[in-house]
Amino acid sequence: MSSTSQKHRNFISEPMGEKLVTDLAGIGEVLGKRLTGKGFDKAYVVLGQFLVLKKNQELFEEWLKDTSGANSKQAHDCYQCLSDWCEQFL
């Protein structure tokens, strides 16, 4: 695993539960509000989309950019966070 943020490490260290979408690495307040406005208010809802896209990095990152206006780094950080969480818990 490459170097990750503290937010990333915190997220993948425990089950998802009711974590907010802003608990995902790469998702701050602005992107969180955009995602919440489109029904993606919890991290597990974004995880659902990640799984629907079959954990495909390119598809997920494009979806996140289109849905929230995330930049490439934010989209990649979020993808990596969910991917690592899945390795840990699924």
Say what the pLDDT of residue 11 is: 96
In the numeric block, which tokens belong to residue 45?
A: 């809802």
Say what the pLDDT of residue 2 is: 56
Domain range list for the chain = 6-89
Unique residue bearing structure tokens 């991290």: 43
Q: What is the mean pLDDT of residues 74-84?
A: 98
Is pTM beyond 0.85? Reply is yes
Say what the pLDDT of residue 71 is: 98
C-alpha distances out from residue 3 to 28, 31, 81, 87, Å: 19, 22, 12, 17
Question: Alpha-carbon distance 39 to 80, whole Å?
Answer: 22
**pLDDT digits over 10-64, tens only?**
999 999 999 999 999 999 999 999 999 999 999 999 999 999 999 999 999 999 9
Say what the pLDDT of residue 1 is: 46
Return the CATH number of 6-89, one of 1.10.150.40, 3.30.70.330, 3.40.50.1820, 3.40.50.300: 1.10.150.40
- Torsion sign (Cα): 51, 41, 11, 78: positive
